[in-house]
Amino acid sequence: MKPSDPQKKTRPNKRSSIASPHGYRGRFAPSPSGLLHFGSLVAALASFLDAKATIDAQGNSGKWLVRIEDIDPPREQLGASSEILHALDAFGLHWDEEVLYQSQQSQSYRELLADLQQQHLSYHCQCTRAAVKTLGGIYQGHCRDLNQPKENNAIRLINQQGIYQFTDIFQGQVLCNQSLAEEDFIIHRKDDLFAYQLAVVHDDIFQNITHVIRGCDLLEPTARQLSLFNTIGSQAPQYGHVPLAITEHGYKLSKQNKATAINKHHPQPMLLLALTFLGQKPPKSLIQGSVDEIITWGIRHWSRHKVPTTQQIAIT
With beta carbons less than 8 A apart as the criterion, state whether 314 and 250 touch.
yes
Query: Among candidates 198, 237, 179, 257, which has minimal Cα distance to 47?
Result: 237
How many angstroms separate the CA atoms of 38 and 42, rounded?
6
Q: How confident is the model at residue 314 (pLDDT cuts 50, 70, 90)?
A: confident
With 0.85 as the threshold, say if the pTM is over it: yes
Q: Which of 138, 177, 144, 142 is nearest to 160 (CA)?
A: 144
* Average pLDDT score, the chain: 90
From CA 283, how far away is CA 294, in angstroms rounded?
10
Question: Which one, of 26, 27, 113, 111, lies nearest residue 69 by Cα?
Answer: 27
Residue boundaries of the structural domains of the chain: 21-314
Give the number of other CB atoms < 10 A from CB of residue 17.
13
Percent of the chain with pLDDT over 70: 89
Asked if pLDDT for residue 17 goes beyond 50, the answer is: no
CATH of domain 21-314: 3.40.50.620
271 CB neighbour count, 10 Å cutoff:
24
Query: Distance between CA atoms of 140 and 121, rounded to whole angstroms?
Result: 16
Q: What is the pLDDT of residues 254-312, one digit of tens each?
A: 555 556 778 899 999 999 999 999 999 999 999 999 999 999 999 999 999 999 999 99
Is residue 100 very low, low, confident or very high in pLDDT (cuts 50, 70, 90)?
Answer: very high
Helix (H, G, I), strand (E, B), or coil: what is residue 189?
coil
pLDDT 10s digits, 146-167: 999 999 999 999 999 999 999 9
Give pLDDT, residue 254: 56
- Does residue 7 surpass a pLDDT of 70? no
Give 253's pLDDT tier (boundaries 50, 70, 90).
Answer: low
* CA dist., res. 176 & res. 224, Å (int): 10
Q: Tell me what pLDDT residue 246 has.
A: 82
pLDDT given at position 14:
36
> In the chain, what is the straight-line distance between the N-terminal and C-terminal CA atoms, in Å?
33
Residues 167-181: what's their mean pLDDT? 95
In contact, 175 and 53? CB cutoff 8 Å: no
Query: 184-234 pLDDT, tens per residue?
Result: 999 999 999 999 999 999 999 999 999 999 999 999 999 999 999 999 999
**Per mean pLDDT, which range of 121-125, 136-140, 256-260, 312-316 is the poorest?**
256-260
Q: Which of the pair, 34 or 89, is modelled with greater confidence?
A: 89
Per-residue pLDDT at 154:
97
- Can you tell me the distance from the alpha carbon of 80 to that of 33, in angstroms, rounded to the nearest whole number? 7
